Amino acid sequence: MDNRPEHAPPLPEPHILEQAAEWFATLGDEDTGPEQHDRWREWIEDHPEHRRAWRYVEQISARFQQARDGAGRDGAGRILRHTRGERLTRRRLLTGGAAGLAAWLVWSRTPLPEAGGRLMAELSADQRTATGEIRDLALPDGGHLWLNSASAVDLAYGEALRRLTLHDGEVLIQTAPDPRQRPFVVDTRHGRLRALGTRFTVRRHADHSFLAVYEGAVAIRTGNGREAIINAGRQTTFQTDSIHSAGPADPARQAWSQGLIVANDLPLGELVAELARYRHGHLGVDPSVAQLRALGTYPTGRPEQALAMLENALPVRARRLLPWWVTLVPA
């Protein structure tokens, strides 16, 4: 039996996503007329993947708009000045019609991914981070907790248990001995992890959870009772009903807690997927360059600098179709 996790449906093909982004830019152009709106409707109805790609673009636009609103007028100006490309000389995508169209479509038809049930838990979580934010916290027992970008956790230290609930995102944990001998556990929707004197990372995905152990060991118990112990230097994924075979853990993966991503012969597509976690909007890579191998250390808090480093190191360039839509393409 194949025990690999069943991932959510993949995004539409890159060329379809690019078409959707082109249409979004077109509809935001102040010179757009009824004929172009009709052509857009024809494109939307031509194939189900076109509608799916359009909804993805709407979602990314809404997230960028939220980030812009959160940054305030001055912060929004800095975002736009930093990312504005030559295609945007006549467009006003973040004010007026295009923003209104996107917001109405998103909120009336298309909920953001994994909203709903998780949203209230995340909003009320004891600790949470925004996109691009990394936070480190001292725990009451002398241990340490790092929260990665867009993460949310609850902490509960009771008479019998030290418990962390991971609602979203990723954490790095360094446990400390407890004089009261209370177990330290981490709960995700897929099961419970029990630290056996250790340093480890847990990342929650929609359909599985990821665990990497750097010191000590961690015991896994899934939602339906399957169990395994993962020792230092190993990593695995697990679901409610399965635990997958463990493989080697990369110690450099902890570098995000210091605001860095370390790429050691990493495919460009994988590196870009990690960098995308730390910026608002869409960051993608053309399939023709996705398998280029990347080396180096990239800052999570300065995504534009990371993109410039990639442009200097590899035969790629950042194509900025919209302020919030960037794709690495062949140079």
Domains and CATH numbers, the chain: 14-113 (no CATH), 118-252 (2.60.120.1440), 259-330 (3.55.50.30)
Q: Three-state SS for 104? A: helix
What one-character-per-residue DSSP string does 255-274 give?
Answer: GGGGTEEEEEEEEHHHHHHH
Q: Which residues of 138-148 are buried (b: 16+ CB within 10 A; e: fewer)?
A: ebeeebebbbb
Instruction: Please check the confidence at residue 79 and state whether its pLDDT lies above 70.
Output: no
34-48: per-residue pLDDT in tens?
Answer: 888 888 888 888 898
The yes-or-no verdict on residue 6 having pLDDT over 50 is no
Name the residue among 247, 259, 265 with its Cα closest to residue 306: 259
User: In this predicted structure, what is the pLDDT of residue 86?
Assistant: 34
pLDDT at 76: 41
Q: Using the predicted structure, report yes or no on whether residue 88 has a pLDDT greater than 70.
A: no
Q: Is the pLDDT of residue 73 over 70?
A: no
Percent with pLDDT over 70 in the chain: 78
Strands 162-174 and 184-188, by their bridges, are parallel
Q: State the pLDDT at residue 70.
A: 57
Q: List pLDDT tens digits, range 110-152.
A: 334 444 444 445 556 789 999 999 999 999 999 999 999 999 9
